[in-house]
Structure 1
Amino acid sequence: MSMTLYSDAVDHYSHAVRIVVAEKDIGVDLVTDSLSKPSAKILEMSPYGDLPVFADRDLVLYQPLIIMEYLDERFPHPPLMPVYPTLRALNRQWVYRVRRDWSQLVDLIQAPSSSDAEKEHGRMRLRESLMSASPIFEEKPFFMSDEFTLVDCCIASILWRLGTIGIQISKTRSPALAQYAKRLFERPSFQQSLTPQEREFPSGFVS
């Protein structure tokens, strides 16, 4: 059995994993499935019916961060996690904060069960949180690092979706964040990771 990544075409968690695959130039069979209506195959492989799902022979992984770290360890070049334990722990903590502070708001905004008021409140919180974090991106080319890491993979998949979830951020008011996003989006691996649907997403950064 070859390595297979089952991925939703527009889900930001699936996209983050696809960025890792592209960054490391890993040869995987990419199978598109639906997060809203998972196939019987996904329901068989994942007890929660979630995507993405990664299969490597008899190994099946169905949590995006676990998949990303597994790929980084199995295919160590280029590394997407620091070598030293202290820095690796900090990197994991930053990923946790991105998931808790930003990813969960994206999920809230996109959830069919969320009310209009909840979605608008989520947009306001996410916009303000991203803009307040803009000074962080003045210090280094990537998130708290001179090197592209798993944290950037997670953030890139969120920033690419801002326009689709009704968020606009001024390049003038948040220039460091806008430049950071531009660096991420121009990476060949990022462009390679995009699905046809994602290529049609409107930008969330405006002049």
Structure 2
Amino acid sequence: MNTPTTPRLYHVALSPYCRKVRLVLAEKRIEVELVEERWWEAGSEVLRRNPAGKIPVLRMDGRLMAESQAICEYLDEIAPTPPLMPVAALDRYEVRRLCAWFDDKFNAEVTRPVLSERVWKKVMKAGYPDSKLVKSGLRAVKDHIDYLTGLLETRKWLAGSTLSLADFTAAAHLSCLDYISDVDWDRSATLRDWYATVKSRPAFRSLLADQVPGITPAPHYAQLDF
């Protein structure tokens, strides 16, 4: 049951940045109230909550917090169990490097073009998908799959020997694409097994229950084992 002090997350279901924060909150067992922020509609208060005009925004302890990476690292510091950032400085660097890889490079090349064309245009009633942009994103994801496979062939988790924020950041992006069946899991059994392990965690349950009106998730989306 929510109380006046329950944290509130302003989010949308298929935002990788919102999903990343949701995963950390759930992993830390921090109860949160989810509030859909339809930022594209007239009357949205997203700019009041975050002058940068971006989501997610977390209301917690009387503060409004923005920027998913900053939020996640804050949560890891105030709720250190289980830890999602390693102890060693070099290991923390690797986690942050991979978070930036997904939030910047992967998002620009894959997540944003594919979701913008295949999901958000439909949700916002903004016209038809640009097939060239979709195809470009789907070509790019193959190179990213190969890169991640190379990492996982020498590591248990993406950034090293323990589950970290890098894994949740990657899974947040890939889960958005998997909702619309746009990840070629047959290309890498190694990556598919890693993703199956991550999405089997209790923290993933609320993501697998997401439903975007008018867009049906892929049949395998909520299955814990492909």
Determine whether 1:59 maps to 2:63: yes
Q: Is the 8 A contact 1:72 1:81 kept in 2?
A: yes
Q: CA deviation at 1:188?
A: 1.3
Could you report, residue by residue, the CA deviation over 1:95-131 in whole angstroms, capped at 9, with x for unpaired residues?
A: 1112223122201222248732122112111123213
What corresponds to 1:127 in structure 2?
A: 142
Q: CA deviation at 1:141?
A: 2.8
TM-score by length of 1: 0.85
Q: Is the 8 A contact 1:6 1:53 kept in 2?
A: yes
SS in 2 for 1:54: strand
What corresponds to 1:41 in structure 2?
A: 45
Q: CA deviation at 1:65?
A: 0.9
What's the % identity of the aligned pairs? 25
Distance in 1 separating the partners of 2:211 and 2:137:
24
The residue type equivalent to 2:115 in the other structure is Q
What corresponds to 2:154 in structure 1?
A: 139
SS in 1 for 2:30: coil
Q: Is the 8 A contact 1:22 1:193 kept in 2?
A: no
SS in 2 for 1:161: helix
The residue type equivalent to 1:201 in the other structure is P
Question: Are residues 163 and 4 of structure 1, via their aligned partners in 2, closer, same or farther at CA, if it must alter by over 3 Å?
Answer: closer
Q: Is the 8 A contact 1:109 1:165 kept in 2?
A: no
**What is the number of residues matched between the two proteins?**
204
Determine whether 1:169 maps to 2:184: yes
Q: Is the 8 A contact 2:185 2:191 kept in 1?
A: no
Of 203, 210, 222 in structure 2, the residue corresponding to residue 196 of structure 1 is: 210
Any residues of structure 2 matched to 1:2-151 within 5 Å, and which? 2=5, 3-37=7-41, 40-104=44-108, 105-111=110-116, 112=121, 115-151=130-166
Could you report, residue by residue, the CA deviation over 1:120-156 in whole angstroms, capped at 9, with x for unpaired residues?
A: 1121111232134313222333213221111111111
Distance in 2 separating the partners of 1:53 and 1:31:
10
Question: Are residues 131 and 53 of structure 1, via their aligned partners in 2, closer, same or farther at CA, if it must alter by over 3 Å?
Answer: same
CA RMSD across the alignment:
2.5
- Unpaired stretches in structure 1, ≥5 consecutive residues: none
Q: Is the 8 A contact 1:8 1:34 kept in 2?
A: yes
Distance in 1 separating the partners of 2:156 and 2:33:
32
- Unpaired stretches in structure 2, ≥5 consecutive residues: none
Q: Higher mean Cα deviation, 158-167 or 177-186?
A: 158-167
The residue type equivalent to 2:169 in the other structure is C
Q: Is the 8 A contact 1:15 1:194 kept in 2?
A: no
Distance in 2 separating the partners of 1:39 and 1:141:
46
Q: CA deviation at 1:94?
A: 1.6
TM-score by length of 2: 0.79
Question: Are residues 31 and 195 of structure 1, via their aligned partners in 2, closer, same or farther at CA, if it must alter by over 3 Å?
Answer: farther
Q: Higher mean Cα deviation, 161-170 or 182-191?
A: 161-170
